[in-house]
Amino acid sequence: MTHSLTHTQLVELAEKFGTPLYVYHAEKIKDQYQTLEKAFSDTHARFFYACKALTNINILKYVESLGAGLDCVSINEVKLGLKAGFTPERILFTPNCVDFAEIEAGKELGVNLNIDNISILEQFGNKFGGSYPICIRFNPHIMGGGHYKMSTGHIDSKFGISVHQMRHIERIIKTTGLHVTGIHMHTGSDIKDVNVFLAGLEVMFEVAEHFPDLKFVDLGSGFKVPYHEDDVRTDVFDLGAKVGEAFVKYTKEKGRQLEVWFEPGKFLVSEAGYFITKCNVIKQTTATVFVGVNSGFNHLIRPMMYEAYHMIENISNPFGNPRIYTVVGNICETDTFAWDRKLNEVREGDYLVFYNAGAYGFEMSSNFNSRLKPAEVLVKDGEALLIRKRDEFEDLLKNQLEVL
């Protein structure tokens, strides 16, 4: 079943909690998680929610209740996960370019460690040897993802250890006795073609031959969700079937059975999220009609950072005559959400909703221009729960020290 919130519900939430406002629909997150479980039901699959997409503690608790694990990229995300109820064995820690002390902190907390740097690998091996199992993140040199900035497996990526550095890795393992139980790759976000995953899996199967104690292969994620009516989504059922076939074949040929891990983030929460703004002003120039809303890239930066498309609707005048608008924010920078977008007539005071706002929306927000961060609401079982208060002016000064 596909869950979604209606215009009427969204307007009511805007009136009750004010705008700008992030709204998340719990049942949609559940739908997405159960879809993955069904798609990979014939494989030994585990799913770790990539919480960098949205880390509100209530979202983490809800995802934990569904049975997922947690994929973290910072030690504070690990600590949030533990606080939300995830046990250490259900947390995967994959930091990048961090101080070795952060790796040590992850080890002390007992979580699964995923190391993506030769230097860190050597430091860890020299200090701990094989006393603590680790996973190694590889760069498969595969270009994947919907935007260059979302691609993490190409030759110039900062992520992962090149598959061509295997000899160096083997020397470190032989010298230090490292115990490697997992291998990992992640090529990027918004991957349309399931063959990108299969190409990566072929590389991982070759890499697996170098690790006799291997227990799992992690294929990352990057499952695409549609952002507009004609957009595509990753066919996870097709992928599940093909990945299942590949692992069955591998088991028959090699005589060992491995788990496959995935790290869905956007796939779980993006479509569950709505961002509601209010039209402050209508401004007409010689060539353009601007809709100026009470937000900007301080709240939703994806359109400016990735040229990301978010469908926008006027939810308080849904039957107005369609007109062409350019939707912009109230930040003193160029913060255009959408050029030449057809919307039902927008009047000052109308509410506009941005769809697919659950991933990397609030999570990438800031207080730029000394603007306040918005509130967050979770709709669960038909009840609207305030899960983050709107910033107040005092929050801007909270950590500042007046010394003059």
pLDDT digits (tens, 9 = 90+) for 314-334: 999 999 999 999 999 999 999
Q: Is 333 annotated as a binding residue?
A: yes
| pLDDT tens profile 85-100 | 999 999 999 999 999 9
Task: Tell me what pLDDT residue 232 has.
Answer: 86
Of 136-140, 163-167, 184-188, 392-396, which range is least confident?
184-188
Q: Is 325 annotated as a binding residue?
A: no
Task: Tell me what pLDDT residue 41 has.
Answer: 96
Q: Is 265 annotated as a binding residue?
A: no
196: phi then psi, degrees, rounded to nearest 5: -65, -40
User: Which residues does 40 contact at the CB level (< 8 Å), separation at least 6?
Assistant: 236, 240, 243, 244, 260, 262
| pLDDT tens profile 32-88 | 999 999 999 999 999 999 999 999 999 999 999 999 999 999 999 999 999 999 999
- The mean per-residue pLDDT over the stretch 396-404 comes to 96
Q: Start-end ranges of CATH 3.20.20.10 in the chain? A: 26-269
In this structure, are residues 398 and 24 in contact, taking their beta carbons and an 8 Å threshold?
A: no
Task: Tell me what pLDDT residue 145 has.
Answer: 47
- The mean per-residue pLDDT over the stretch 385-404 comes to 97
Residues labelled catalytic? 332
Q: Is 306 annotated as a binding residue?
A: yes
User: Which residues does 255 contact at the CB level (< 8 Å), separation at least 6?
Assistant: none
In this structure, are residues 72 and 114 in contact, taking their beta carbons and an 8 Å threshold?
A: no
Domain at 273-392: CATH code: 2.40.37.10
Q: Is 145 annotated as a binding residue?
A: no
In this structure, are residues 184 and 220 in contact, taking their beta carbons and an 8 Å threshold?
A: yes
Of 107-116, 189-198, 204-213, 308-317, which range is least confident?
189-198
Task: Tell me what pLDDT residue 154 has.
Answer: 54
Cis peptide before 20 (omega within 30 of 0): yes
The two three-digit tokens of residue 183, written as one number: 């291998």
Per-chain mean pLDDT for the chain: 94
- pLDDT above 90 coverage of the chain, percent: 87
Domain 26-269, CATH among 3.20.20.210, 3.30.930.10, 3.10.129.10, 3.20.20.10: 3.20.20.10
Task: Tell me what pLDDT residue 57 has.
Answer: 98
Q: Start-end ranges of CATH 2.40.37.10 in the chain? A: 273-392
Predicted structure pTM score: 0.94
Q: Please indicate whether residue 306 or residue 23 has the higher confidence score (pLDDT).
A: 23
| pLDDT tens profile 137-152 | 999 887 544 444 444 4
What is the CB neighbour count within 10 angstroms for residue 6? 9
